[in-house]
Amino acid sequence: MKLTGAQVLVKSLELEGISTIFGYPGAAISPFYDALLDSKLKHILTRNEQGAAHGASGYSRVTGKTGVCVSTSGPGATNMITGIATAYSDSIPLVAITGQVQLDLIGRDVFQEADITGATEPFCKHNYLVKDINQLPRIIKEAFHIAASGRPGPVVIDVPIDIQTQTVEFKYPQEVEIRGYKPNYKGHPQQIKKIAEAVSKAKSPLICAGGGVISAKASEVLTKLAERCGIPVVTTLMGIGAIPGSHSLNLGMLGSHGVYSANYAVNNTDLLILIGARVGDRALGTAGKIAQKAKIIHIDIDPAEIGKNVSTTIPVVGDVRLVLEALLEIVKAGETEQWVSMVKEIKEKRKKPVDSQTNNVNPRLIIDRLSQKLDVDAIMATEVGQNQIWAANNFRAGKPGTFITSGGLGTMGYGLPAAIGAKLGKPESTVVVVGGDGSFQMSMPELGTIKQEEIGIKIIILNNSRLGMVRELQKNRHNGRYSQVFLDCNPDFVKLAEAYGFNAERITNNTQIDSALDRFLADDRTYILECVVDSEEATV
Amino acid sequence: MTKHTLSVLVENRSGVLSRVAGLFSRRGFNIDSLAVGVTEDPEVSRMTIVVDGDDYIVEQVNKQLNKLIDVIKIRTLESSDSVSRELALIKVNATPASRTEIMQIVEIFRAKIVDVSKNTLTVEASGANEKVTALEDMLKQFGIKEIVRTGTIAIERGNRFIKAGNSEE
């Protein structure tokens, strides 16, 4: 069967089991959009290419499938770059397809030409510039394989417009053979044995669960391990949901923006078991100090993460789920009762009472109340800034993959389009996005996408009329010399919602929270709840 | 800081060199030299990379290079178990008075004169990095007009070899 390059792209996406893609058309990708008309693929027209990549990312996080985003050449592709980098930082599998100017014009700086394989090289797992139509089916197959296997990540396929119109006898490859890419899934049995020994001897072991636990679908086995061996669990920002938020062994998020109980445990453990966590500076900035007192086990699919930021006593390279399953078969619990009861007690004692100041809305209180009202399948997406931390520390994720945030790159404007992707991936789940007034406005045009797709997204804007996290940083680090953090002339968000035909309301104090949340969650339609927050409110 | 020599087999495709070079710059690794050429298999190129750094850096370089899809295999070569060579072309000022002395030095280093003009000599020298540097030092007194060095290439001694397939020893 002879197909054009554009048809090959569409057909291959179908064969990969893709049903929804996110994108924005343009001249250099126009043959693809033409071919799309003859396909059942659902295309979500975002309002900016960055929203397409974030949407695909949110979709991927809730479905476990590879997300697909499409843009044209030049500015379309450069707009998408932030989304690709965001996915790379958080190891989210994406395939990004970008149009490119015709092959023989590459390098001549023609209209809407940009070197996208060059530009994305530092923050994608791999990329391709298609130079031969005959290679296109293989390249697409490889791209999907690379994106989803090993440590997942984004792969970019840059397709010149003439490749899209040339024809080829189409045969989609069944297998891939990439000699330079062979991820190791099965952990070394000898190393796993060593972990089991270390666990049985430890008096105060601690699991630190990262995003890798969620992407490896290892939450269940991790929870079993923690329960059977009496090991408390702290999570990174990306690891939220790796163990249920309400689980008694879950001590919460660690790190500079984490909770006391989690950091206490990290500083007093004698065996720190890092699982699918990359020892980021925000989570374990003092890893070196911890390593002086405690043995460190590091389990990760990516060998390059092991030993990068902390020296490790027992390293294991492999799929987190397979390693933990093997470990669970042989491990015996140590004597940890004293340690467990101590950290649980600290967790209870140090739980910050959510104060009920009445001048404004307490952001912690509203997330806490919201969390109580949501069912276990509900998904929370966040923007970046104070809102992200308030959400992280007060939302109790019911299941893995229900807390969606830009953990590594910290991309403002991620939450809203990611929530759109999440809702399209799991239409039956309630999807809430929590944003600040600053970050919400970064992707605010995506409200148009919500309207067009007629989906219900629950939007909470924690409005402190500030770029709150930067304001706090300037307060603490620059002696309160506030520079460019004021957003006192924000739009009227309620009127803005009305312009799109969404329900909305503004609340200004804590007594309004409960009834407002009930209206907010009453049906499955989009609702913007603006909460006026004290401009001096602290992050933690 | 010590120097380490890495022998890296990569897919012979466009863009590979920029991926490798980009990785070094963005991870803050220092490349001393990098030499690339095709291998006995035309689809595979070999890069010989000399890295400046401690054991931690070399381990990181190894692991990060391994993450590149186009990188097939990496081996750190121990100087005791490998032969390394560098080629240099050195254009040096030569007057009728100094020409003989230059030629004597060239002979001692077992280098060659490959071009001559009224007031220059071009010397071709090959050897380990240190030998080439020593020759350069000796020729400095005459005034060096230009030096071109290839960077180090290296191969393991004896029966050991690195191949793209699994037939590695």
Structure tokens at A459: 């939007």
Residue A180 is assigned to a structural domain of this protein: no
Select from A120, A179, A317 the residue whose CB has the most chain B CBs within 10 Å, as the one to mutate to test that interface. A179
The pLDDT of residue A353: 67
Alpha helices in A294-382 (DSSP H): 320-330, 337-350, 363-373
Element containing residue A358 per DSSP (H, E): none
User: CA torsion sign, A208 to A209 to A211 to A212?
Assistant: positive
pLDDT tens-digit series, residues A349-376: 887 766 666 689 999 999 999 999 999 9
8 Å CB contact between A92 and A57: yes
B76/A492 Cα distance (integer angstroms):
62
> Do B61 and B106 contact (CB within 8 A), yes or no?
no
Percent of chain A's residues with pLDDT above 70: 99
Q: Which amino acid is at A282?
A: R
Closest CA to A380 of A423, A340, A412, A322: A423
Q: Do B15 and A129 touch (CB under 8 A)?
A: yes
Residue A92 lies in a domain: yes
Residue B167 pLDDT exceeds 70: no
ipTM: 0.89
Strand B144-149 relative to strand B82-93: parallel, antiparallel, unpaired? antiparallel
Greatest extent of chain A over all pairs of C-alpha atoms, in Å: 71
Task: Give per-residue pLDDT as tens, A413-439.
Answer: 999 999 999 999 999 999 999 999 999
Q: What is the CA radius of gyration of chain B?
A: 19
Question: What is the reported pTM?
Answer: 0.95
Q: Is A7 helix (H, G, I), strand (E, B) or coil?
A: helix
* A177 within domain boundaries: no
Dihedral over alpha carbons A188, A190, A191, A193 (to 10 degrees): 120
The answer to whether residues A152 and A270 belong to one domain is: no
Q: Say what the pLDDT of residue B165 is.
A: 73
CATH number of the domain residue A267 falls in: 3.40.50.1220
For residue A184, tell me if it sits in a domain: no
Q: Are A127 and A179 in contact (CB under 8 A)?
A: no
Does the CB of B41 have a partner CB in chain A at under 8 Å? no
Model pLDDT for residues A124-164, shown as the tens digit of each residue:
999 999 999 999 999 999 999 999 999 999 999 999 999 99
Q: pLDDT tens digits for B130-153?
A: 999 999 999 999 999 999 999 999
Q: How far is B76 from chain A (nearest CA, A)?
A: 16
- Sign of the torsion formed by the C-alpha atoms of A303, A307, A309 and A314: positive
Say whether both A345 and A371 belong to one domain: no
Does A301 contact chain B (CB < 8 Å)? Answer: no
Residue-wise pLDDT tens digits, A518-527: 999 999 999 9
pLDDT at A240 over 50: yes
From B163, which residue of chain A is nearest by alpha-carbon distance?
A179
pLDDT surpassing 80 at residue A228: yes
Chosen domain end from A324, A350, A376? A350
For residue range B99-119, list pLDDT tens digits in order.
999 999 999 999 999 999 999
Mean pLDDT computed over A197-204:
96
Residue A152 lies in a domain: yes
Q: Which of B63, B65, B71, B72 to mutate to test the interface with A (most CBs of A within 10 A)?
A: B63
A12 lies in the same domain as A118? yes
Is A117 an 8 Å CB contact of chain B?
yes
Same domain, A328 and A461: no
| pLDDT, position A495 | 98
Residue A191 distance to chain B (closest CA, Å): 19
What does the buried/exposed string (b/e) look like for A132-167 if buried means 16 or more CB atoms within 10 Å of the residue's CB? ebeebbbbbbbbbbbbbbbbbbbbbbbbbbbbbbbe
Distance (Å, rounded) from C-alpha A323 to C-alpha B146?
A: 58
Q: Would you state the pLDDT for residue A284?
A: 85
Task: From residue B90, give the alpha-carbon distance in Å to each of A200, B96, B98.
Answer: 66, 18, 16
- Token couple for B28: 């803050």
Q: Do B19 and A121 touch (CB under 8 A)?
A: yes
> Strands A503-507 and A458-463: what pairing?
unpaired
Segment A272-293 mean pLDDT: 88
| Residue A372, min C-alpha distance to chain B (Å) | 43
What pLDDT was estimated at residue A356?
64
Assess whether pLDDT exceeds 60 at residue B166. no
**Domains in chain B, ordered, with CATH?**
2-77 (3.30.70.260), 83-153 (3.30.70.1150)
Nearest alpha-carbon partner for B68 in B132, B15, B113, B109: B15
Report whether A82 contacts A50 (CB < 8 A): yes
A300 and A422 fall within a common domain? no
Per the structure block, which two tokens stand in for A454? 């007629």
Predicted confidence (pLDDT) at residue A120 exceeds the cutoff of 70: yes
- Same domain for A342 and A367, yes or no, is no
Q: Please report residues of B whose CB lies closer than 8 A to that of A125.
A: 69
Q: Are residues A433 and A528 in the same domain?
A: yes
Cβ neighbours of B165 in A, within 8 Å: 179
User: What pLDDT does residue A283 have?
Assistant: 86
**Those residues with Cβ within 8 angstroms of residue A103's Cβ, 6 or more apart along the chain or in another chain:** A131, A160, A162, A163
In a domain, A130, yes or no: yes
Residue A479 pLDDT > 60: yes
SS3 state at A340: helix
Token pair, residue A282, equals 């925000």
Residue B169 has pLDDT above 50, yes or no: no
Shared domain check, A281 and A242:
yes
Same domain, A296 and A396: no
Residues with Cβ within 8 Å of A331's Cβ and at least 6 positions away in sequence, in order, are: A195, A196, A199, A200, A225, A228, A229
Q: Say how far apart CA A86 and CA A421 lie, in whole Å.
A: 15
Q: Tell whether the model's pLDDT for residue A114 goes beyond 50.
A: yes
Is A109 strand, coil or helix? Answer: coil
Closest to B88 in 3D by CA, of B124, B54, B140, B113: B124
Domain count along chain A: 3
Q: Do A333 and A236 share a structural domain?
A: yes
**CA distances, A385 to each of A212, A391, A411, A412, A473 (Å):** 23, 10, 9, 7, 11
Residues A221, A116 share a domain:
no
Mean pLDDT for B82-100 is 95
- Give the domain range for residue A307: 189-350
